[in-house]
Structure 1
Amino acid sequence: MERDIVVSDEVRKMIEETGQDYRISTACRGSVIVPISIKPPKESDIKIPVGKNTLYVSRVQARYIKKVTMDMMYDDEDLYSCTVFSRY
C-alpha cells in the first residue's frame, strides 16, 4: 500500500531538513502531517522511509491518500481548534 502513496519533493525536503519523524493522521480538516511528538505512531501505521527519518501513515488515512503534499502540514490553529489535538 505504501507504494501507492507518493510523497512530494517539498514534504521530503521538509522532513529531511527538520530531522524529525512525522505522521499523517486524521484531524478535523482531514489528513494532516504532524510531528510524532504531537501524534505518536501506531503499530498499524504504514512506514515510508524519508532519508534517515520515517513518515508514518495512519492505516485509516492510507486508504484515501494518493499523494502527500505540504498543504497537509498542520498549523497552530489545528492544535487549538481541533479536539483530536486537545492535549496540546
Structure 2
Amino acid sequence: MSQIEVDQEVIDFILKNDQDYRVSTSCSGPVVVPITIKAPKTTDLQIKVGNHILYISRVQARYISCVTPDMLDEMRYRTCPAF
C-alpha cells in the first residue's frame, strides 16, 4: 500500500471543523465523516492533520491514493442507510 495524499481542501476542512475524521465506505463510495458518526478502528491508517487525525479504513486504503474534496459530500452519508 503506497502513501495516501490528502488534498489541501480536505486539510483545510478538517482544520476548520476542529475534529478528527475517518474515510469510510458508504453506499456511494469513500466518504469523509466525523468520527462521531463512524468510529475509527484499530486497523485504520492514521494521517496527522494539524492537531487532528484522519483515519482511513483498511478497506478504502487499498483503493485510494488521495483523499479528495468530493469525499466530503455530507449528503452521501446522511442519506445512506448504512450510517
Q: Give TM class, smaller chain.
A: over 0.9
List structure 1 runs of 4+ shifted beyond 4 angstroms: none
Q: What amino acid is aligned across from residue 67 of structure 1 in structure 2?
A: C
Report deviation, 1:60. 0.4
Unaligned runs of 5+ in 2: none
Work out the number of aligned pairs and report it.
83
Report deviation, 1:37. 0.5
More helix by share: 1
Post-superposition Cα deviations, 1:2-61, rounded to whole Å, max 9, x if no partner, equal x61000011011111111000000000000000001001001101000000000000000
Report deviation, 1:72. 0.5
Q: What amino acid is aligned across from residue 13 of structure 1 in structure 2?
A: D
Report deviation, 1:84. 1.2
Q: How does the TM-score come out when normalised to structure 2? A: 0.92
Q: Match of 2:69?
A: 70
Question: What is the alpha-carbon root mean square deviation over aligned residues?
Answer: 1.3
Check conservation: 1:34, 1:74, Cα contact below 8 A. Answer: no
Report deviation, 1:65. 0.6
Q: Match of 1:13?
A: 12
Please say which structure displays the higher CA radius of gyration.
Answer: 1
Unaligned runs of 5+ in 1: none
Q: Match of 2:82?
A: 84
Match of 2:47, SS state, is strand
